[in-house]
């Protein structure tokens, strides 16, 4: 868990590049708080990674306690997408409307899949702590700080079969939107290899 917190902290540190973005005094302008946000699955199916946003919040609190960036403090808003596409879409739009200059440290199973085109349209960056689908790694506006569950699955399979020399390895793939579609080619590539 400590390693994951460092990864999330590194991702949050990247938001400093966005500190000068925006135009209003309450978002990313020259004065006021720097608004950043996150979408996380806090309730609903798949809440097991929701602590990633808490790690990002802790790091931002640390930065704020030490003077912020250029004297400006971060205001961090975490919204619960409830594991539903409609809520994930609505939450992203709410964060942007409220002046967020970046989405940072999120752990939503749906955010990248649902919002990657929107983030591209509005020119906002998303730095998720966890990339659940291939959409987290296929958009110029999204830069996940992990290998992603879909690549992680392939690495797990390779390790089980080659590192542990297991003969009967089974891959379990969840039926979340976009998840099975991203995992299936990885499992097939492993089977072929």
Percent share of the chain, pLDDT over 90: 37
Beta strands in the chain (DSSP E): 34-40, 74-80, 102-104, 125-127
Over the chain, what is the mean pLDDT?
80
Q: Of residues 151 and 23, which shows the higher confidence score?
A: 151
HSE (CB half, 13 Å, CA atoms) of 67?
3
CA distance 149 to 157: 12
Q: Could you report the per-residue pLDDT of 168-190, keeping only the tens digit for each?
A: 888 777 666 666 777 788 788 88
Q: Given this model, what pLDDT does residue 20 score?
A: 43
Q: Could you report the per-residue pLDDT of 86-134, keeping only the tens digit for each?
A: 999 999 999 999 999 999 998 888 898 899 999 999 999 999 887 777 7
CA distance 176 to 157: 20
Using an 8 Å Cβ cutoff, are 60 and 18 in contact? no
Q: Could you report the per-residue pLDDT of 116-128, keeping only the tens digit for each?
A: 999 999 999 999 8
Overall average pLDDT of the 19-30 stretch: 44
pLDDT exceeds cutoff 60 at 42: yes
Locate 189 and state its tokens.
């590539």
CA distance 81 to 88: 5
Locate 3 and state its tokens.
């390693």
Locate 161 and state its tokens.
């079969």
CA distance 185 to 174: 14
CA distance 33 to 41: 25
């Amino acid at each position: 868990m400590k390693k994951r917190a460092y990864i999330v902290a590194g991702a949050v540190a990247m938001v400093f590049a966005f500190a000068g973005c925006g135009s209003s005094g309450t978002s990313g302008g020259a004065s006021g708080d720097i608004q950043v946000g996150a979408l996380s699955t806090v309730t609903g199916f798949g809440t097991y990674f929701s602590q990633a946003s808490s790690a990002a919040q802790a790091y931002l609190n640390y930065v704020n306690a030490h003077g912020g960036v250029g004297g400006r403090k971060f205001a961090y808003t975490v919204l619960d997408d409830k594991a539903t596409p409609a809520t994930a879409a609505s939450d992203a739009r709410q964060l942007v409307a409220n002046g967020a200059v970046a989405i940072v440290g999120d752990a939503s199973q749906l955010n990248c899949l649902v919002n990657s085109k929107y983030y591209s349209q509005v020119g906002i960056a998303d730095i998720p702590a966890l990339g659940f689908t291939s959409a987290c790694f296929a958009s110029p506006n999204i830069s996940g700080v992990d290998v992603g569950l879909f690549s992680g699955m392939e690495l797990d399979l390779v390790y089980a079969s080659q590192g542990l020399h297991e003969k009967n390895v089974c891959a379990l793939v969840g039926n979340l939107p976009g998840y099975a579609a991203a995992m299936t080619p990885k499992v097939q590539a492993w089977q072929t290899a």
